[in-house]
Each structure stands twice: as C-alpha cells, then as structure tokens.
A = this chain, B = another copy of it.
Amino acid sequence: MHRLRILSKHGLTYRQLIEAAALSDLAIVDDESCDIVFGEPALIAPALPQLPSVRWVQSTWAGVEPLLDPALRRDYALTNVRGVFGAPMSEYVFAYLLAHERRLFEKHASQQERRWDAAPPGTLRGKTIGLIGVGSIGEALARTARHFGMRVKGYTRSSEASGDVDEYFHGDTLPAFARDLDYLVAVVPNTAATRRLVDAALLAALPARAVFVNPGRGSSVDEAALLAALRQNRIAGAVLDVFEREPLAPEHPFWTLPNVRITSHTAAISFPEDIAPLFIENYRRWIAGGPLRHRVDFDLGY
C-alpha cells in the first residue's frame, strides 16, 4: 500500500479528484508515514525534513525552486507539471496584445469622457512576435500568434520543435532576433542559463514600437535595464506578471509607469482539474515501475 500526502492550498479539491480515480494500493494520509507527496513546492519544502519515507514528489507547479535549496534532500524522484499552461498563458499574452492593438484602455478613457472616439485600432495581422523559449508554452503562443496572422520568431537553446515558428535563432543571435519585433515574450524556466537574458543589450536591439511581455520568470529580466528602457520610452511598453521579488513592493517604480501593465503572478493560473490527471497518470506509471513523466533534473532545475 502506498501512502500519499497532499500539501496544497487546494487540498480538498485534489483529494476529491484523486479519490474519484479509485487508484489501486493508495491511501491518502495526513502524517509523516507518506512515501509520495503531491502539492505546492513552497509547502513541501519546509515539511520535507520531517518526511523520511518520501520516494516521489509530484509538484503542482512548473517551477520547483523551493525544492532546489541545496540544504534539502535530493534522494527522491521529483516531477513537475508541464503542458497544462499553454492555454492559460496564451489567453494572458493575447489578452494584452489585443488590448494594445485595439487600444482598450484608451477607448475606456474616451468612454469615461462620453467621447465618440473614431481613432482606428491596430491589428495583430502582419505583426511580428519573438518568443524567448519555445517549450510547450512557447508552442501554444506560436500557434495562437499564427491564428491571428502574425509572423513568429523563436529563440531557443537548440530545439526547433514547433512548426508554427517561422524562423529560429540560437546562441549569440539575440540582436538579429530582436531587431524587427513588435512583441517580445519571455517564456523560459528559471535556470542559470536564462538569468537576466533580457538585459540592456537585448532591450536596446528592440524597435521603439516593441512591447515586452513577461509571463514567465522574474529572474530572466534585468529589471534595472528594463526600467531605464521604459522610462526613456526606448520601447513602447511592458506587460509584467513576474518579478525578481514578489509581491512587488508598493514603492517599486514599475507600478506607476504609464507604459507598464502589471499583474500579480496570475498569468498561468493552474486549475486542479488540469493538474490532478498528471498525478494520476504518473501514479499509474509509478506502481507499474515505468518512467515518470516530467521528471525534474535537480542540477538543471527543470
């Protein structure tokens, strides 16, 4: 009999979803006897030292940073969730891209003045989007971009997996990648290689019309360089969901820049109904002795 402990703020929902799957040889427990843990890394990390029998942890998040703390054990299988964030990320990114083209906030201001505002909107059609990172989320963004008639450029370490990307870039080609973008979107994991990838040089290579969107990881941006570019209107704007330090402090200058839209790390909200099936599938693999899906490499960090 395996013993599962759920450590999640959606614990009750997950319990119901997992019980409904009637998995064999599985008991859900609330104590330190568990050999499997399912939940949020931020809740699991502090509990881990008191859970000596754990052999597998399934994260409900994509990011597992709290479990990468070198002071913590690494003698168990760690799996995260992938492939479920493409749809919500696409909704987030294209909500703001369409709002920019269709001038939603400007039209709203006109409405408040009761003013018939015939200023023509822009269009996504024919515009160019550049994706830093073309994993499962980048693929979903590329697909939506193509749906709206955009040209898609992708910057990756080496992979060229998505057929919806018109042109791939790797290595030291970031300036060529950036030079004609209307939108730059960073969707990379938090690793040493992606740290401050969006820096002063990359921002300087963008056209003045470009809007930067970061729904991914705060660590991938040099925030001081971004702030300078936005203050001097060297790029048209930014849509930021993630930051180096969260929550963003009330005194941070990002809040009040007129060309910045801030959301509070809600771009890729995960729904238990999407996450639970990943645990259920992995549990069936676990008891069958098969390889787990979405295994995390502790050294790479993803």
Interface set of A (CB-CB < 8 Å, partner B): 87-88, 90-92, 94-96, 98-99, 101-102, 104-105, 107-108, 110-111, 114-121, 123-125, 143-144, 147-149, 246-248, 250-251, 255-256, 261-266, 269, 271
Interchain nearest-CB distance for A190 vs B (Å):
19
Residue of B nearest to A247 (CB): B116
Tell me if A91 and B87 are in contact (CB < 8 A).
no
Tell me if B264 and A118 are in contact (CB < 8 A).
yes
- Counted per complex, copies of this chain come to 2
When distances are taken between beta carbons in the complex, the residues of chain B under 8 Å from A95 are: 95, 98-99, 101-102, 104
Which residue of B94, B108, B144, B255 is within 8 Å of A105 (Cβ)?
Answer: B108
Tell me if A117 and B264 are in contact (CB < 8 A).
yes
Bound together, the chains give a CA A263 to CA B117 distance in angstroms of 7
Bound together, the chains give a CA A246 to CA B120 distance in angstroms of 16
Which residue of B98, B116, B251 is within 8 Å of A248 (Cβ)?
Answer: B116
Given contacts A116-B264, A117-B264, contact A102 B111 (CB under 8 A): no
Bound together, the chains give a CA A94 to CA B261 distance in angstroms of 19
Residue of B nearest to A271 (CB): B123
Bound together, the chains give a CA A119 to CA B269 distance in angstroms of 10
When distances are taken between beta carbons in the complex, the residues of chain B under 8 Å from A115 are: 250
When distances are taken between beta carbons in the complex, the residues of chain B under 8 Å from A247 are: 116
Bound together, the chains give a CA A204 to CA B96 distance in angstroms of 32
Given contacts A91-B102, A116-B248, A247-B116, contact A110 B144 (CB under 8 A): no
When distances are taken between beta carbons in the complex, the residues of chain B under 8 Å from A144 are: 147
Extra contacts, 6 of them, besides A88-B125, A95-B95, A107-B261 (Cβ < 8 A), are A87-B125, A95-B102, A99-B104, A114-B251, A114-B256, A143-B147
When distances are taken between beta carbons in the complex, the residues of chain B under 8 Å from A266 are: 117-121
Tell me if B256 and A118 are in contact (CB < 8 A).
no
Interchain nearest-CB distance for A140 vs B (Å):
10
Interchain nearest-CB distance for A248 vs B (Å):
6
Bound together, the chains give a CA A266 to CA B106 distance in angstroms of 13
When distances are taken between beta carbons in the complex, the residues of chain B under 8 Å from A104 are: 95-96, 99, 104
When distances are taken between beta carbons in the complex, the residues of chain B under 8 Å from A261 are: 107-108, 111
Which residue of B96, B111, B143 is within 8 Å of A262 (Cβ)?
Answer: B111
Interchain nearest-CB distance for A96 vs B (Å):
8
Residue of B nearest to A94 (CB): B98
Bound together, the chains give a CA A256 to CA B271 distance in angstroms of 35
When distances are taken between beta carbons in the complex, the residues of chain B under 8 Å from A251 are: 114
Tell me if A149 and B87 are in contact (CB < 8 A).
yes
Interchain nearest-CB distance for A142 vs B (Å):
13
